[in-house]
Structures are given as C-alpha cells and as structure tokens.
Amino acid sequence: MAVWAIGDLQGCYDATQRLLEKLRFDPAQDRLWFCGDLVNRGGQSLETLRLVHSLREQSVVVLGNHDLSLLAIGERTPDEQRKVNQDLQRVVLADDARVLLDWLRGQKLVHVDRSLGWMMIHAGLAPQWTSALAERYAQEVEQQLHGNGYRKLFRNMYGDKPNWSSGLAGYDRARAIINVLTRMRYCTPRGRMAIEEKGAPGTQAQGLYPWYEVPGRAARDLKIVCGHWSTLGLMIGHGVHAIDTGAVWGGKLTALQLDTDDVRLVQVAGRDVPGGDPREKD
C-alpha cells in the first residue's frame, strides 16, 4: 500500500492518467490525496473531474480556489454559465454535472491524518494558526458548504478582504478563512495577506514573506502538503511540501509519497503548451 499526494491537476486529464500509470496505482491498496484545483485551464476539466470522482473511495480531496469558483458557477443560471470559459462550461452543462458538483461540494478545505503525521491544504495557513486551529476553522466553513446555506456562502465568498482575525464573524469570517486556505501565498508577520503578489519568492514587496516562513509563525505538529503556487514550484522546507509544479503551464505533475520517511517524488510531463509557458500567476 502507498499513499500519494498529487499537485494541482487543473483539468489536465492526460497528465493525470500518465501519473497514475507511472505510480502503478492499485485502487485495491493505494490511496490518493489531491491538493485541490482539480479543474480549469487544462481543457479536460470534465474528464478530470469524472476521473477523480470515480476514484472517490480511494481518495481524499481538498478544495482549491478554482474548485470553489466552479461550484459557485454551478449555481448560476444557464445563460450565465455559458459566459464562463469553455473548459468550465463543459462541466456545468454536462448531463452528470449535478452528481459531480454535489460530490465536489462535499469535500474538505483541510484534511488531517495524524497517524501519518500529515495535513493537506490547497494554499497556506495564517501565521497564528496551529494545525489544530486550521482544522477547526476549516470545519466552520465546511459546515456551511455541506449544509443548506451553501448558496449564500458562494454569493458572499468573493473579495480580498478582510484579513484574518479571530474576532471576525459571519461571511467576513468565512471569506477570510477561505482566502487563507485557498489563495494564500505571501503575508506580513501580523497576517495581512498580499493576494496581488503572485511571483516566486524574491519578487515580493518589502515586508512580505512566503506564508511558510513568516517570522514568529505558530509551531505546527504536522507536516504539510499543499499546491496552488505554480511559480514557487517544488519546495520542501519549513515542514512544508509544496507540489504544484505547473502541469497546466507545460511543467510537471508531481506526486509525493506520504507513508514513508524518505522524500519520494514521482513526476510526469504536464500539458503540452504550444509556444512555451504562458503562465498567469494565480
């Protein structure tokens, strides 16, 4: 048996299939952790979502910002849905859209396995958050996602503000939690997020730090695996394993084995991008 965490798929079905073949994935024994952003931009989002859904008994998924956007689009009118990009249109207008979207909405924002010693998130953690706090705050939003109020949550989750504070309430609190867990890259030591900063470390404004190396950040008792930050690339340090290696931009799709003390990585080529890497850093 092996447990593999896999970086952002972003609708790259062919690359996902190549990776599963290279892993010699055995659904009878192996388990997969998907770091979020299953969809968007790769041109095969519907096929990718169907594949991960078919592996739901062998997998855990955390939601990324693109997944949440898809879920919000799924609640719009058909006329509004036809205005989004074709890759997501194919999902929300598919015959099995309701099955896929209801399943996706039931996924987590944080996944923890203390027996393995790992936590999976899509993007980042606020400097003040321990592993236990991150799990607790994620569960607050998950209750809304999984309950009857999810449509109101989708209408109120967009926006870059406010920054996280434990005193927040209502949709401001939910939005801040979502932004940290699905959009975080840089922040100040006090936790002010800089969502507009999307480049690799060294390109950010003065006073900002990658979320995983902010001075004075809380101690965390679990190793963390995450995706989201393709311009960061593969990064292992500070107890964090960042594995979004830009498959959708012509980079690689990466899997990291979690049930071993060694760092074991398996990679395959990502999507073929004619003319080179046109990466948009979000």
CATH number at residue 221: 3.60.21.10
Predicted local distance difference test score (pLDDT) of residue 280? 47
Task: Judge whether 276 lies within some domain.
Answer: no
- Looking at the DSSP bridge assignments, the partners of residue 235 are 242
Mean pLDDT across 138-159: 97
Percent over 70 (pLDDT), the chain: 97
Cβ–Cβ under 8 Å, residues 34 and 6:
yes
Mean pLDDT across 89-109: 97
How many structural domains is the chain composed of? 1
Mean pLDDT computed over every residue of the chain: 96
Say yes or no to pLDDT of 108 above 60. yes
Task: Judge whether 281 lies within some domain.
Answer: no
Return the sign of the alpha-carbon dihedral for residues 235, 240, 245, 248. negative
Predicted local distance difference test score (pLDDT) of residue 112? 98
- Per-residue confidence at 278, pLDDT binned at 50, 70, 90? low
Say yes or no to pLDDT of 146 above 50. yes
Task: Judge whether 144 lies within some domain.
Answer: yes
List, for residues 182-216, the tens digit of each pLDDT value. 999 999 999 999 999 999 999 999 999 999 999 99
More confident residue, 282 or 65: 65
Mean pLDDT across 103-111: 98
Predicted local distance difference test score (pLDDT) of residue 279? 55
Predicted local distance difference test score (pLDDT) of residue 135? 98
Task: Judge whether 282 lies within some domain.
Answer: no
Mean pLDDT across 246-275: 94
Task: Judge whether 8 lies within some domain.
Answer: yes
DSSP single-letter state for residue 211: G
Residues 33 and 193: their CA atoms lie apart, in Å, by: 27
Say yes or no to pLDDT of 234 above 90. yes
DSSP state string for 118-181: EEE-SS---TT--HHHHHHHHHHHHHHHHSTTHHHHHHH--SS-PPP-TT--HHHHHHHHHHHH
Q: In this predicted structure, which of 151-155, 207-211, 274-278 has the lowest mean pLDDT? A: 274-278
Mean pLDDT across 87-109: 97
The CA angle 176-143-12, to the nearest 5 degrees, is 70
Say yes or no to pLDDT of 275 above 80. no
**In the block, residue with structure tokens 């990658």:** 210
Task: Judge whether 275 lies within some domain.
Answer: no
Task: Judge whether 81 lies within some domain.
Answer: yes
Task: Judge whether 222 lies within some domain.
Answer: yes
| Neighbour count for residue 271 (Cβ, 10 Å) | 21
Mean pLDDT across 232-260: 97
Which residue range(s) make up the domain with 13?
3-269
